[in-house]
Amino acid sequence: MPERLTDAQLEHLARELRRQRHDLDAQQVRMDESLDDVRAARGSSDADDEHDPEGPTLSSEWSRISGLTAGLADRSAAIDRALQRVDDGTYGQCVRCGRPIGFGRLDALPWAELCIECARLP
Structural domain contains residue 27: yes
Sign of the Cα pseudo-torsion (4, 9, 15, 20, in order) = negative
pLDDT in tens, 57-83: 777 777 888 888 899 999 999 999 999
pLDDT in tens, 35-46: 877 777 766 655
Average of per-residue pLDDT values in the chain: 88
User: The domain spanning residue 57 has which CATH number?
Assistant: 1.20.120.910
d(CA 13, CA 3): 15
Q: With contact defined as beta carbons under 8 Å apart, do 118 and 102 qualify?
A: no
Structural domain contains residue 50: yes
Q: How many domains does the chain have?
A: 1
Structural domain contains residue 1: no
d(CA 102, CA 1): 8
Structural domain contains residue 2: no
Structural domain contains residue 94: yes
Structural domain contains residue 113: yes
Nearest CA to 114 out of 74, 86, 82 is that of 82
What average pLDDT does range 22-34 have in this prediction? 91
| Residue 111, helix vs strand vs coil | coil
- The boundaries of the domain holding residue 95 are 7-120
Q: What is the pLDDT of residue 38?
A: 76
Q: With contact defined as beta carbons under 8 Å apart, do 59 and 49 qualify?
A: yes
Structural domain contains residue 105: yes
Following DSSP, what letter does each residue of 54-94 receive, concatenated? TS--HHHHHHHHHHHHHHHHHHHHHHHHHHHHHHHT-TTB-
